[in-house]
């Protein structure tokens, strides 16, 4: 049985206790991922977001016995609640918008199950996805350790996760990929 986990942000470089069976592969499904969620520590993180161009995300096989174990492991790694973990297998899937795309991809790959972090966009005083300008201006105004953490997150995002917001952040703030980090994978 092969159950895989999808990733596009910090999960790639820092899987924590997630039980990986393989390294990360870059030929995951195309998903609409963007820098559109303000995290608890002030960073703007990558999340699946409607009305966003799709990019190939990454995947890794998990060393788990079943889909429930995979969901629990990802929920613990992400320190979130069950509703924020998307899942698919041939018998059942979550109701997250990207589930259909993931199902087609997973079936074509012959996987038995898939889990992914399904956090929605979140930004102060905005319902839904923030604009690119709002994200860039928010990041520009950060100071101290919050700014350093936000910059590190953007710079260490996988190279293949090229989004319109990332392009603007690189252009406006100079937060280009951390080449040393990218090549160490």
Residues 6+ apart with CB under 8 A from 82: 71, 75
Give ∠ CA 81-70-41 in degrees, rounded to 5: 40
Task: Give per-residue pLDDT as tens, 14-29.
Answer: 999 999 999 999 999 9
pTM as predicted: 0.93
Residue 54 confidence (pLDDT):
97
Residue 56 confidence (pLDDT):
97
């Amino acid at each position: 049985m092969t159950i895989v986990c999808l990733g596009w942000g910090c999960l790639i470089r820092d899987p924590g206790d997630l039980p990986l069976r393989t390294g990360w592969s870059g030929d995951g499904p195309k998903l609409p991922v963007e820098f559109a969620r303000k995290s608890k520590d002030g960073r703007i993180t990558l999340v699946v977001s409607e009305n966003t161009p799709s990019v190939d995300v990454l995947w890794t096989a998990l060393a788990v016995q079943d889909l429930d174990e995979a969901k629990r492991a990802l929920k613990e790694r992400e320190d979130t609640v069950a509703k924020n973990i998307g899942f698919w297998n041939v018998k059942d899937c979550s109701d997250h918008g990207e589930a259909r795309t993931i199902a087609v991809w997973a079936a074509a790959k012959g996987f038995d199950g898939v889990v992914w972090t399904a956090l929605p966009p979140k930004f102060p005083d905005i319902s839904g996805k923030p604009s690119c300008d709002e994200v860039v201006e928010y990041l520009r105004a950060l100071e101290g350790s919050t700014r350093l953490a936000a910059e590190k997150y953007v710079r260490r995002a996988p190279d293949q996760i090229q989004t319109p917001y990332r392009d603007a952040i690189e252009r406006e703030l100079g937060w280009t990929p951390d080449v040393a980090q990218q090549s160490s994978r």
